[in-house]
Amino acid sequence: MSAQIIDGKKVSKDVREELKAKCEDLKAKGVEPCLAVVLVGDDPGSQVYVRNKERGCAEVGIKSIAYRLDAGITQQTLLELVDKLNRDPAVHGILVQLPLPKHLDEKEVLRLIDPKKDVDGFHVVNAGSLFTGEGGGFVSCTPQGIMRLIASTGVSIEGKNAVVIGRSNIVGKPMAMLLLNANATVTVCHSRTKNLKEIAKGADILVVAIGRPEFVTGDMIKSGAVVIDVGMNRVDGKLKGDVKFDEAKEVAGYVTPVPGGVGPTTITMLLSNTLQAAEAQG
């Protein structure tokens, strides 16, 4: 048996067509959607993501402004920039690329971003509205994109065993919450989990976000499962996921490739959140 490959680019393309139309509507109403991306330091991985974000914006018609700051800047300088962007009515979305250099306090920076401009969905107010199921806030882009990828398979989530490996605020936790809200039975695994292999093998839907190249092997996957690989690991210049793709392909029902899976939909959801922000502030 060979799994179906979930094409993140294809899923993205369809959504981006809709976003393009929405962006034109906003412009016709005199609103020019604008995203500010703040990048501190020159981590090569982050440079690629930021470039892809700028490209995505251009494709849909969103204005993007990138702030590339020296790795050595002070907390104060970064806070002042965020404050300035918060008060600028021409800026609808603010994204501060993570991780920040170690001398900077990430939590304090994220807390300062106006929740209405927090298109990453990392502010406690937005994380909280996902947690309570209140809705209306911004949902973290990667998990939101993954829900689209799962939907594209036609596999229903309700009542299924979903296992999320990884519990970061960016991916693992909001992912678990979205799956729970969609009525899956959710298990979250992390570095202290015992019997991870057995738990993973019980998953109808397996989402892996740990940052360990090819950690999940074929023997950890249930036959026919939906396997979502969030990992972006650069190994000898090549991009590798957290899942051993060639093995997963033989066991799973559906699997995402790296690249071309989760990455493109993450960016698409960022564009979607930015238009949501522009519409609300318009």
Ligand X SMILES: Nc1nc(=O)c2c([nH]1)NC[C@@H]1CN(c3ccc(C(=O)N[C@@H](CCC(=O)O)C(=O)O)cc3)C=[N+]21
Which residue ranges are tagged as binding site for NADP(+)?
A: 166-168
| Strand partners of residue 96 | 38
What span, in angstroms and rounded, lies between the C-alpha atoms of 94 and 97?
10
Residue 201 contact among ligand X, ligand NDP, none, beta carbon within 5 to 8 Å by kind: none
Q: Is 142 in the site for ligand NDP (CB under 6 A)?
A: yes
- Please count the residues of this chain forming the interface with ligand X, following the rule CB under 6 A: 18
Chain position whose Cβ is nearest to ligand X: 263
Catalytic residue among 97, 144, 160, 249: 97
Q: From 28-36, 195-203, 245-253, 263-271, give the range in contact with ligand X by CB under 6 A.
A: 263-271
Q: How far is the CB of 114 from ligand X (least distance, A)?
A: 15
Residue by residue, DSSP assigns 25-81 as HHHHTT---EEEEEEES--HHHHHHHHHHHHHHHHHT-EEEEEEE-TT--HHHHHHH
For the four alpha carbons of 242, 246, 252 and 257, in that order, the dihedral sign comes to positive
Cβ atoms of 93 and 120 closer than 8 Å: no
Distance from C-alpha of 247 to C-alpha of 122, rounded to nearest angstrom? 34
Contact partner at residue 48 from ligand X, ligand NDP, none, CB < 5 to 8 Å by partner kind:
ligand X
The verdict on 206 binding ligand NDP (CB under 6 A) reads no
95 binds ligand X (CB under 6 A): yes
Classify 208 as helix, strand or coil: strand
Sheet bearing 4-5, strands edge to edge = 4-5, 254-255, 226-229, 205-208, 161-165, 185-189
Of the residues 7, 41, 52, 279, which one makes contact with ligand X according to CB under 6 A:
52
Nearest one of 136, 78, 68 to 110, comparing CA atoms: 78
The residue among 101 and 202 lying less far from ligand X, judged by its C-beta, is 101
- Whether 276 is catalytic: no
Residue 156 contacts by C-beta under 8 Å, 6 or more apart in sequence? none
Q: Which CB, 52 or 181, lies closer to ligand X?
A: 52
> Is the previous residue joined to 33 through a cis bond, with omega within 30 degrees of 0?
no
Using CB under 6 A as the criterion, what x/- string covers residues 243-272 for binding ligand NDP?
A: -------------------xx--x------
* CA–CA distance, 149 with 144 (Å, rounded to integer): 9
266 binds ligand X (CB under 6 A): yes
Q: Looking only at residues 209 through 238 of this chain, which bind ligand X when binding is defined by CB under 6 A? A: 232
Residues that bind ligand X (CB under 6 A): 48-49, 52, 95-98, 120, 141, 232, 239, 258-260, 263-264, 266-267
Residue ranges in contact with ligand NDP by CB under 6 A: 142, 165-168, 170-172, 189-193, 196, 209-212, 230-233, 262-263, 266
